[in-house]
Chain A
């Protein structure tokens, strides 16, 4: 079974708008990572946030982590058509080895 759940399952927006995706998980984590997948191909690592961090930025990406609520969010600002993809959160358990537990993903469509 999968650790996390992403919300929403699908998101459709216009270019220039912001996109927010949420992820919830069930157990204590070492870190949480966000990945992007285009058209059912390989995953691309976007950002890693550790359990002792609350917010992290990378370019147009902003990730927050709330360990008390066991949840994270990914914000993509000023979205572009090229951001169209599936986005997955993945968790690494505390004290565990480097095994990623993925959620089911959010499918983002950005329309020109």
Chain B
């Protein structure tokens, strides 16, 4: 069974640019969530996708957007990058959209905005 994978591992971008982060969910998992973790903080929920539809969103501006594909893999897109977007971006998959299941996290993408 393959776990959650994310690419790239590290990324350096300039303020104002756009970035796309990718996530492959664990086999059989139809729900993918994205989290942003600033240095020294806990992860903050960005949004969740279930069967290719956004199912919920945290307190992030519209320049954070996402996609989920028929194979349940997902992308996180961030436009007009700001310095505060520098963080570890974590993808997590779950076998169910229901609130009673654990989530399986990928290793994360470290984004640095200069």
Residues of A within 8 A of B (CB): 2, 30-31, 33, 35, 40-45, 48, 50, 88, 90, 92-93, 95-105
Contacts and interface: CB of A to CB of B under 8 A. Distances in A.
B102 A48 contact: yes
Interface of B: 4, 31, 33, 35, 37, 39-45, 48, 55-56, 58, 88, 90, 92, 94, 96-108, 110
Contacts, number: 82
Nearest to B110: A40
B42 A103 contact: yes
A100 B106 contact: no
A97 B100 contact: no
B107 A100 contact: no
A103 B106 CA distance: 19
Q: Which 8 pairs between the two chains have the least Cβ-Cβ distance? A: A102-B42, A42-B105, A42-B107, A43-B105, A45-B102, A30-B99, A92-B99, A104-B42
